[in-house]
Chains A and B, each alone.
Chain A
Amino acid sequence: MSGYSITEPTLAQKWIAGVLVVGYALLTILPLIWIIATGFKSPSDAIAYPPKVVFEPTLEGYVNLFTTRTRMSPEALEEIGPPETWYDRIVRQYDMVISGPSRYGERFLNSVVIGFGSTFLSVFLGTLAAYAFSRFKVPLKDDLMFFILSTRMMPPIAVAIPIFLMFRQLGLSDTHLGMILLYTAVNLSLSVWLLKGFIDEIPVEYEEAALIDGYTRFQAFYKVVLPQATTGIASTAIFCLIFAWNEYAFAVLLTSGTAQTAPPFIPTIIGVGKDWPAVAAGATLFLVPVMVFTILLRKHLLRGITFGAVRK
């Protein structure tokens, strides 16, 4: 420690602050830990009273998540013979056999396709627009930027009615393309605002030097600005991806089968049997990737979630 600073908190202050914050953090992740833990419980352990903290882990929830099962009479089961695989064995405890895969895999894949597709498009279009807004004289620039921001203020349900009708006319209802275009439009506001901030920070002198060297404007953008903006583009992409991944309102209104993503599907896993471990397993697989991204992204977090309004 070099020197004495009056603005440095005392050790006692640090301890009190630390204890309070750690306490809050533990409280706040308790529900998340509970989701993950419930995924590894058996259905009876999941609804035990008092809630079970120590339990024998099982993959039953995950097996139930990915399969559909039918109950069979003892005679029929005898005919099939003993279970062959570990997942067969789990199901057989309940006198059931696996009759096929569930829809979860498809829904998860839809989330991946729509998430990545719309992220790519919104970052691609967003980078071009952000560059133009940052470097060129665009008439009514401030108004256009505000217009782009204001599209985010609309309640999704409010625009959902005409989008529903429009998609029905164009044959885009319940298609991947329709959802990709929709999420791209929703994410564009974030992507343009964030990327403009990142590109503003790249000194104009680099491009000017390139232009003097005989590069065209497009080459200067492509070869000089883009490589410099890689970090900004990457973190913008992850924010767009997380938004599209988590989106529920449009998904539940505009998709029902082919293009349905995981968020509207996961709550339906519960079924009549109140199979909480399967729901928890589905939620865990869906949420954990975002948790990992959040931890990786922590330095860029603030900028992303405030549309670039707050920079650290």
Chain B
Amino acid sequence: MSDETSSRTPAVARPGLARRMGSLSDRALAWVFIGPTIFLLLAINIFPLIWTIRLSLTNYRANRTNADLQWVGLRNYERILTDSDIWNSMQATAHFLIWTLVLQVLIGFALAYLINKKFKGNDLWTTIIVLPMMLSPAVVGNFWTFLYQPQIGLFNYVIAFLSGTDPSSFSMIGDVNLAPWAIVIVDTWMWTPFVMLICLAGLRSIPDSIYEAAECDRASSWRQFWTITIPMALPFLMLAILFRGIENFKMFDLVVQLTGGGPGNVTELTSINLKREAFEKWRTGFASAYAVILFVTVFGLASIYVKALNKVKQR
């Protein structure tokens, strides 16, 4: 196949370029190939990050560009760490993060375990389960507000039907107590398949011979599950938790469309809170310090976690 393709695309098509590239040493070619990528990442990721750090030490406001720019040192950081609104957001994020991880790990692993029983047609059903996570969270989140409507919403109707209550008696996104769960439910619906797929790869990586050996030793299937299946799938499960953890720490699109942070601020996750500070209140300096704190937190937690993950892998 490669011969056919190469004969159709002769190097003479772009003689100048090819000759110039051809005369480059491997070392030079390597930099020509990597250069643009590194440049773009520096320009759109690292440069902004440094700029954010710089802004976080000022009182800059992006909507008043001619105002006096003052260096305020670490005062923004101090104010953030003592701001009760921000602690409230952190708590909302923690609630969201912990419950989505717990539910997604339990349901995702269970599904993977069941699919690994290799019943007929499991491929088709796996694909169907995966669909929600490939879709736009903002668009899907927006539609879920319709499913969550009291009275006319499908979700309320189904829950009311199953529990025998009145579908207009509760409002998932309007009630202070229910809203934090409303976002957990939609995120779980959307991202459980991700955990499932990774667990499935983990389960499929366990060689049959180990189970056969255990069977010869007359280990019960319960014992096999806890001494073979769980430990061998654990590194995969931990990888899934890492990916989901980072993503949900950054969560913005789905929740902003579902509840917009409300009612009040019970579902105002840190990203939503940050957006409000930066683009509605226009406290750019303050918001930059907030962004730095969030980035350091996610980076720090992820680094510690990766170390733990590597230890589990080495066992």
Measured CB to CB, the residues of A under 8 A from B are 5-7, 9, 13-18, 20-22, 24-25, 28-32, 34-35, 38, 47-51, 125-126, 128-129, 131-133, 136-138, 144, 147-148, 150-151, 153-166, 181-182, 184-186, 188-189, 192, 206, 216-219, 222-224, 227-228, 242, 245-246, 248-249, 252-253, 262-264, 266-267, 276, 279-280, 283, 286-287, 290-291, 293-295, 298, 301-302, 305-306, 309-310, 312
Interface string of B30-48 (1 = CB under 8 A from A): 1111101110110111111
Interface core residue of B18, B27, B154 (most chain A CB under 10 Å) = B154
Query: Out of A249, A262, A309, which one reaches B253, CB within 8 Å?
Result: A249
Q: Enumerate chain B residues within 8 angstroms of A28, measured Cβ to Cβ.
A: 128-129, 131-132, 189, 193
Question: Across the interface, which residues of B come within 8 angstroms of A132, CB to CB?
Answer: 29-31, 33-34
Chain B residues with CB under 8 A of A219: 11, 18, 22
1/0 per residue B221-264: CB within 8 Å of A?
00000000000000010010001001001101100010000000
Which B residues are CB-close (under 8 A) to A216? 18, 21-23
Q: How far is the CA of A55 from the CA of B132 in the complex (A)?
A: 25
- Residues of B contacting A291 in the complex (Cβ-Cβ under 8 angstroms): 131, 134-135
Establish whether residues B26 and A217, one from each chain, have CB atoms under 8 Å apart when the complex forms.
yes
B154 touches A51 (CB 8 A): yes
Q: Complex: how many Å from CA A129 to CA B41?
A: 12
Give chain A nearest CB distance to B189 CB in angstroms.
6
- The B188-246 residues at the A interface (CB cut-off 8 A) are 189, 193-194, 197-198, 201, 204, 208, 211-212, 215, 236, 239, 243, 246
Give, as a whole number of angstroms, the nearest-CB distance from A190 to chain B: 12
Pair A192/B37 contact, Cβ less than 8 Å: yes
Q: Give 13 A-B contacts (CB < 8 Å), ordered by A residue.
A: A7-B215, A49-B157, A144-B34, A159-B48, A161-B287, A162-B49, A165-B51, A222-B18, A228-B2, A245-B136, A246-B138, A286-B139, A287-B136
Q: Which of A133, A161, A287 has the most CB of B within 10 A?
A: A161
Among residues of A, the one whose C-beta sits closest to the C-beta of B240 is A306
By DSSP majority rule, is chain A's interface helix, strand, loop, or mixed? helix
Decide if B33 touches A267 in the complex (CB within 8 Å): no
Query: Which chain B residues (167-198) contact chain A, with CB distance < 8 Å?
Result: 167, 189, 193-194, 197-198
- Asked if A35 meets B48 with Cβ closer than 8 Å, knowing A7-B208, A144-B38, the reply is no
Contact flag A162-B114 (CB < 8 Å), given A7-B208, A298-B130, A310-B239: no
Q: Do residues A266 and B142 form an inter-chain contact, with CB atoms below 8 A? A: yes
- With a CB–CB cut-off of 8 A, which chain B residues contact A30? 154
Complex Cα–Cα for A164 and B215 (A): 61
B105 at the interface (CB under 8 A from A): no
Q: Are B34 and A138 in contact (CB under 8 A)?
A: yes
- Which residues from B are CB-within-8-Å of A15? 119
Q: Number of B interface residues, CB 8 Å? A: 109
B274 at the interface (CB under 8 A from A): yes
In the complex formed, the residue of B with least CB distance to A293 is B134
Point out the residues of chain A lying under 8 angstroms from B47, CB to CB.
Answer: 162, 166
Q: Is B79 an interface residue (CB 8 A)?
A: no
**How far does the alpha carbon of A81 sit from the alpha carbon of B105 in the complex, in Å?**
62
B140 within 8 A of A: yes
Contact A151:B275 (CB < 8 A) given known A17-B114, A48-B152: no
B67 close to A (CB within 8 Å): no
* Closest 3 A/B residue pairs (Cβ): A216-B22, A158-B291, A185-B44
Residues of A within 8 A of B87 (CB): none
Is B121's CB within 8 Å of the partner chain A? yes
Given known contacts A163-B48, A267-B138, A312-B201, A7 and B11 CB-to-CB distance under 8 angstroms: no
* Structural contact, A306 and B278, CB atoms closer than 8 A: no
Distance in angstroms from B117 CB to nearest chain A CB is 4
Other-chain residue from A9, A21, A147 in contact with B125 (beta carbon distance below 8 A): A21
Contact partner, A227, options B5, B143, B239, Cβ 8 Å: B5
A-chain residues with CB within 8 Å of residue B252 when the two chains form the complex: 155-157, 248-249
Instruction: Report the separation of the CA atoms of residues A45 and B253 in the bound assembly, to the nearest whole angstrom.
Output: 29
| Chain A residue, CB-CB nearest to B275 | A157
Residue of A with least CB distance to B19:
A216
Instruction: Establish whether residues B37 and A188, one from each chain, have CB atoms under 8 Å apart when the complex forms.
Output: yes
Residues A263 and B29 in contact, CB atoms below 8 Å apart: no
CB < 8 Å neighbour of A14 from B6, B119, B208: B119
Check B86 for interface membership: any CB of A closer than 8 A.
Answer: no
A248 and B295 CA atoms in complex are apart in Å by: 19
Contacts of A283 in B (CB 8 A): 139-140, 142-143
| Contact call B62/A161, Cβ cutoff below 8 A | yes
Cβ–Cβ contact A129 & B239, under 8 A: no
Residue B71 at the A interface, CB < 8 A?
no
Known: A128-B34, A280-B143. 20 other contacts (CB 8 A): A15-B119, A18-B121, A24-B107, A28-B193, A32-B135, A49-B151, A125-B36, A136-B33, A158-B52, A159-B49, A160-B279, A161-B55, A166-B51, A181-B40, A222-B18, A223-B5, A248-B137, A264-B138, A276-B146, A302-B198
